[in-house]
Each structure stands twice: as structure tokens, then as C-alpha cells.
Amino acid sequence: MATSRTGTGTWKKVRAERLKLDYEAGVTHCPICGCWLDWENSRRPNSPEPDHIVPHSMGGQDTVDNTRTICRFDNQSRGDGTRKPKRTRPVIKTVTLDAAGAW
């Protein structure tokens, strides 16, 4: 059975240390979007979460130096940074024809 990378003892220690350092340093806002971080409640869009600066999938390590605290919304939106941009729908232009049916 495979285990979750975020469930390892190493990540749990790094996660706790990063959150402790930033809480004690008085970090109050997300460095990405600027929203206020709610240190009192977890699992909310503005709850603080540790984030890998260099994603694990791109060789980033589970170290305190490779983490920062951002809001939960931005952390979940970022993913590992390898997602393709969303496709946009093609623009449909309307064409007006003259009385003779010409463009």
C-alpha cells in the first residue's frame, strides 16, 4: 500500500516548524494574494498552510528553508505548478451580411 508524502514524519515536522516560525514572526497576510491569515481556524480559505517554494515534484525538498506560509486557497490553487493552463473558448464573431448576402 502506498503512503502519502504529506503523511510522513519528516513533512509533519517541517510543516509544524514552518507554521510555528511564521506565527511567532507575526506573519498576518498571505504573500501571494494579501488576504488576512486566520491562525485561529483551520480548513478555511484564509487559514495558513505551509507551501513548497520549489514543488516536491520538481525536486524540492521537505525542508523549512523550502517552505513559506500562504493561505489555504492559494496553496490548493497552486498545486505543483505543472498543470496546463485552462483552455479558453474560441471567440465566435458575428458577421453582418448586406442585402445581397455578401460579407
pLDDT tens digit at each of 103 positions of the chain:
456 777 789 999 999 999 999 999 999 999 999 999 999 999 999 999 999 999 888 899 999 999 999 999 999 988 776 666 666 666 666 667 777 666 6
Answer for the pair 48, 37: CB distance below 8 angstroms, yes or no.
yes
- Residue 82 confidence (pLDDT): 65
What is the domain count for the chain? 1
The kind and range of the H/E element at 66 are none
Give SS3 for 12.
Answer: helix
In a domain, 88, yes or no: no
Query: Is 96 domain-assigned?
Result: no
CB 5 within 8 A of CB 56: yes
- What per-residue confidence (pLDDT) applies to 102? 64
- 56 inside domain: yes
Domain membership of residue 47 as a residue range: 8-78
pTM, 2 dp: 0.72
Domain contains 102:
no
Domain assignment present for 2: no
- Whether residue 43 is contained in a domain is answered as yes
Identity of residue 67: T
- Report how far residue 20's alpha carbon sits from residue 40's, in angstroms, rounded to the nearest whole number: 13
Determine the pLDDT at residue 91.
Answer: 67
Domain membership flag for residue 46: yes
Q: Evaluate whether residue 97 is within a structural domain.
A: no
